[in-house]
C-alpha cells in the first residue's frame, strides 16, 4: 500500500486525522535537541551551575519545555489536543560541550505524543538561547529529533 500524507484529504486539503475509531494505548515519545554554544557560554554555565541574573538557565528551560509540551495542540494546527500523563526534561552538557536536552513524555491515548516531546525539547532549546544571548548570539540549535516512540501503529527508534 502506498503511503500518503495523513493530514491531507484526497483533494489535497488540510485535515485533522480522525482517531475516533482507534483504541487508546500507552504512548511514549523521547525527543532530543542539541544546542551548540560558544565556549564562553559553556564555561559560564559550568562555573555557575547555570545561574544567571535571569535565574537558572536549565531549570527555566525545563519549565518552559514542559509548558510548551502541554500546549502542543494549541501550537500545531492539526495536532490533536491531548493530555499528558508525564513530561520529563533533562538537560546536560556532554563531553563535546554541547547542551543536550532530552524530553520524554507519556500518555494513555488514541494518538501519539511525539509532537509534544519535540515541542518540549524545541522550546527548552529556545529558552536556553534566550537566557544566554547576552553573552553571544553565536548559539545554534543543531538538532531537534525524535529519538523513540512506542505505543502506536508502529514503534520507532532512531539509529
Q: Is residue 4 part of a domain?
A: no
- Residue 130 catalytic? yes
Q: What CATH number should be reported for the domain holding residue 91?
A: 3.30.70.640
What is the structure's pLDDT at 141?
98
Q: Is residue 133 part of a domain?
A: yes
Q: What's the pTM?
A: 0.91
Q: Is residue 159 part of a domain?
A: no
Q: Is residue 19 part of a domain?
A: no
Residues 34, 101 contacting (CB under 8 angstroms): yes
Q: What mean pLDDT comes out for the span 100-114?
A: 95
Whether the per-residue pLDDT at 144 is higher than 70: the answer is: yes
Angle ∠(77,74,116) on CA atoms, nearest 5: 90
Q: Is residue 8 part of a domain?
A: no
Domain that holds residue 117: 25-150
Scanning 50-147, the segments in alpha helix (DSSP H) are 57-70, 72-75, 114-132
Query: How many domains, in total, are found in the chain?
Result: 1
Q: What mean pLDDT comes out for the span 87-104?
A: 97
Four-residue CA torsion sign, 71, 66, 63, 132: negative
Q: How far apart are CA 105 and CA 17, in angstroms?
A: 21
Q: Could you give the 3-state DSSP secondary structure of residue 39?
A: helix
Q: Is residue 56 part of a domain?
A: yes
Whether the per-residue pLDDT at 4 is higher than 90: the answer is: no
Residues 31, 118 contacting (CB under 8 angstroms): yes
What is the structure's pLDDT at 1?
65
Q: Grid coordinates representing 86?
A: 508525564
Q: Is residue 157 part of a domain?
A: no
127 pLDDT band, cuts 50/70/90, is very high
Grid-cell match 531537534, residue found: 144
Q: Is residue 115 part of a domain?
A: yes
| Annotated active-site residue in 85, 88, 97, 130 | 130
For residue range 20-59, list pLDDT tens digits in order: 778 899 999 999 999 999 999 999 999 888 887 778 999 9
Amino acid at each position: 500500500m502506498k503511503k500518503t500524507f495523513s493530514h491531507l484529504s484526497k483533494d489535497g486539503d488540510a485535515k485533522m486525522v480522525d482517531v475516533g475509531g482507534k483504541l487508546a494505548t500507552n504512548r511514549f515519545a523521547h525527543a532530543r535537541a542539541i544546542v551548540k554554544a560558544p565556549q564562553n557560554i559553556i564555561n559560564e554555565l559550568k562555573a555557575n551551575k547555570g545561574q544567571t541574573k535571569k535565574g537558572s538557565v536549565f531549570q527555566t528551560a525545563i519549565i518552559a519545555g514542559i509548558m510548551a509540551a502541554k500546549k502542543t495542540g494549541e501550537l500545531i494546527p492539526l495536532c490533536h489536543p491531548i493530555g499528558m500523563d508525564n513530561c520529563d526534561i533533562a538537560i546536560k552538557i556532554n563531553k563535546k560541550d554541547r547542551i543536550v536536552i532530552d524530553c520524554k513524555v507519556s500518555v494513555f491515548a488514541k494518538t501519539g505524543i511525539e509532537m509534544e516531546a519535540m515541542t518540549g525539547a524545541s522550546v527548552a532549546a529556545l529558552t536556553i538561547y534566550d537566557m544566554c544571548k547576552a553573552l553571544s548570539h553565536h548559539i545554534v540549535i543543531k538538532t531537534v529529533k525524535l529519538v523513540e516512540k512506542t505505543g502506536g501503529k508502529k514503534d520507532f527508534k532512531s539509529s
